[in-house]
C-alpha cells in the first residue's frame, strides 16, 4: 500500500508538493493511524498493527528516492513500535511486498505479483505468527542483504 511519486532529479526539478503528499500517505498517515488506535488496540485480548513497507525499505531504487525513504521510515517506526509493545496483546507486523500489480505500478515494466496472491501470503505470515512477511522477490532481496547490504543496494539502485 502506498503512493508513488516521480522524484528523479535527472529528469528535471521534482515537484516538492507531490513529495510531501507521498510522505504523508506512506509515512505520516500510518503513524497517525497507529497512534490514534493504540489505546483501543491495547484493550483488546489480541490485536495487530500491520504496516506495509516494501523491499525498497531495505535497499532503495534510484528513481524513487521519496517512496524508498518513506518505506524505510515506516520500517523503522514499525520495528521500534514492536519493541515498545513487546509483552502486550498488540502484535506489530511488517509486510514487505515486491512489485505488486496495482494501479500504482501500472507503468512499471517489471514483473508484478498479483495483488490477491500478495494479500494471501501476508495473511499466511500473520497466521504463522511471523513479525515480518517478506513476500515474493523480497525474500531474495532480504537474503542478499543478509550477506551484503552493499550487494542488495547494487541490485535495487539500478531500477
List active site positions: 67
Nearest alpha carbon to residue 156 among 107, 98, 106, 105: 98
Q: Please give the grid coordinates belonging to residue 99.
A: 512489485
Angle between helices 65-84 and 16-23 (to 10 degrees): 20
The 3 state secondary structure assigned to 52-81 is ECCHHHCCCCCCCHHHHHHHHHHHHHHHHH
Cα-based distances in Å from 120 to 59, 82, 95, 116: 24, 23, 12, 6
DSSP E strand stretches across 29-151: 47-52, 90-96, 100-101, 113-114, 132-134
In contact, 51 and 77? CB cutoff 8 Å:
yes
Amino acid at each position: 500500500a502506498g503512493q508513488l511519486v516521480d522524484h528523479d532529479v535527472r529528469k528535471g526539478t521534482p515537484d516538492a508538493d507531490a513529495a510531501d503528499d507521498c510522505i504523508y500517505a506512506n509515512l505520516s498517515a500510518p503513524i497517525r493511524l497507529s497512534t490514534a488506535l493504540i489505546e483501543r488496540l491495547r484493550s483488546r485480548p489480541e490485536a495487530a498493527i500491520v504496516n506495509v513497507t516494501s523491499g525498497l525499505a531495505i535497499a532503495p531504487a534510484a528513481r524513487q528516492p521519496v517512496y524508498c525513504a518513506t518505506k524505510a521510515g515506516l520500517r523503522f517506526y514499525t520495528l521500534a513500535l514492536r519493541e515498545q509493545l513487546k509483552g502486550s496483546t498488540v502484535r506489530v507486523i511488517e509486510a514487505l511486498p515486491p512489485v505488486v500489480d496495482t494501479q500504482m505500478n501500472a507503468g512499471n515494466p517489471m514483473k508484478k505479483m498479483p495483488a490477491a496472491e500478495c494479500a494471501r501470503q501476508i495473511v499466511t505470515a500473520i497466521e504463522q505468527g511471523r513479525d515480518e512477511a517478506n513476500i515474493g522477490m523480497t525474500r531474495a532481496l532480504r537474503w542478499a542483504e543478509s550477506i551484503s547490504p552493499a550487494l542488495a543496494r547494487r541490485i535495487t539502485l539500478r531500477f
